[in-house]
């Protein structure tokens, strides 16, 4: 955990959004895990706090559960996953699934039928489509759990995998030939959307329509984006776009950039309803 600091001017944030100001108490380090992790996913299983860490250098998905006696997380289980880039948990009643997206060697689905049992690999996931996964996300579509795996190989294809019986099978291939680096599931206007970042073009936004994802638009003036995240505040949706080259962006007012021509985006910060302030001079 990181420790925030307050300058003399306080923390700067988006104007008109006072909730962005952090309280003054400092955070301190609570617990460390030996190996570095590329990602961490918290989840609840049988009402107990858990988390799963993707540890590519250790070649595993590491599952930790909360120990009430020790007041810390303890090791519960390790899943062998060399070159793993993402470990995504899904809890369905007593069943626990973990998708292990691996850069090499094929992605796998692990399953635990019920409490007290160990997770076991049950399925190889779309081996002919997922050649070099770079990210995975969980989303619910029409009440059905699905995973989307972004594939960074030019010969592969970002794939939507939905539950069918005991496993998860390809429902749709998305964005072939574009070497996708990141996927972000979000909801706009009450409808599921999917934002894909690519090494070869601007981020593309898809919306769920007629039982499949259809391309809706792209993000103007946002080349070289390799990672995306979103959050909501004061009724608006903010997109955080991390770029290989150039400044990373925070984009607001999605209705503006979906309806306006790219000429309005000569400077991405101008697209915000209120411009982001400059950080204070220390």
Strand, helix or coil at 115?
coil
Average pLDDT over residues 49-71: 97
Cβ within 8 Å of residue 260, ≥6 positions away: 220
Lowest mean pLDDT among 104-118, 156-170, 261-275: 261-275
What are the sequence ranges of the domains in the chain?
125-259
Say if pTM beats, i.e. exceeds, 0.85.
no
d(CA 27, CA 32): 14
Residue 119: partners with Cβ closer than 8 Å, 6 or more residues away: 63, 77, 79, 96, 98, 110, 111, 112
Beta bridge partners of 240: 229, 250
Contacts of 30 (CB under 8 A, 6+ apart): 1, 72
Q: What is the pLDDT of residues 18-50, one digit of tens each?
A: 555 555 667 788 899 888 999 999 999 999 999
Domain 125-259: give its CATH superfamily.
Answer: YVTN repeat-like/Quinoprotein amine dehydrogenase (2.130.10.10)
The pLDDT score that the predictor gives to residue 21 is 55
């Amino acid at each position: 955990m990181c420790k925030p600091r307050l300058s003399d001017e306080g923390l700067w944030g988006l104007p008109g959004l006072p909730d962005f100001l952090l309280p003054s108490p400092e955070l301190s380090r609570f617990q460390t895990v030996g190996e570095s992790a590329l990602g961490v996913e918290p989840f609840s299983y049988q009402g107990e706090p858990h988390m799963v860490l993707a540890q590519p250098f250790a070649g595993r998905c590491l599952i930790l559960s909360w120990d009430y006696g020790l007041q810390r997380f303890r090791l519960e289980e390790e899943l062998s996953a060399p070159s793993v880039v993402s470990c995504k948990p899904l809890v369905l009643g007593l069943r626990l699934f973990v998708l292990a997206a691996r850069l090499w060697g094929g992605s796998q689905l692990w399953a635990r039928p019920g409490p007290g049992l160990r997770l076991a690999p049950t399925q190889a996931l779309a081996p002919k489509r997922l050649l070099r996964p770079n990210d995975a996300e969980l989303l619910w579509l029409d009440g059905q759990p699905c995973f989307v795996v972004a594939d960074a190989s030019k010969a592969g294809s970002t794939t939507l995998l939905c539950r069918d019986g005991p496993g998860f099978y390809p429902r749709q291939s998305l964005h072939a030939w574009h070497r996708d680096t990141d996927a972000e599931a979000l909801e706009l206007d009450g409808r599921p959307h999917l934002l894909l970042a690519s090494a070869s073009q601007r981020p593309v936004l898809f919306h769920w329509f007629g039982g499949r994802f259809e391309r809706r638009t792209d993000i103007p003036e946002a080349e070289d984006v390799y990672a995306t995240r979103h959050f909501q505040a004061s009724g608006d949706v903010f997109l955080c776009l991390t770029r290989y080259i150039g400044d990373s962006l925070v984009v607001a007012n999605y209705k503006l950039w979906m309806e306006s021509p790219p000429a309005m985006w000569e400077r991405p910060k101008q697209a915000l309803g209120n411009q982001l302030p400059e950080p204070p001079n220390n």
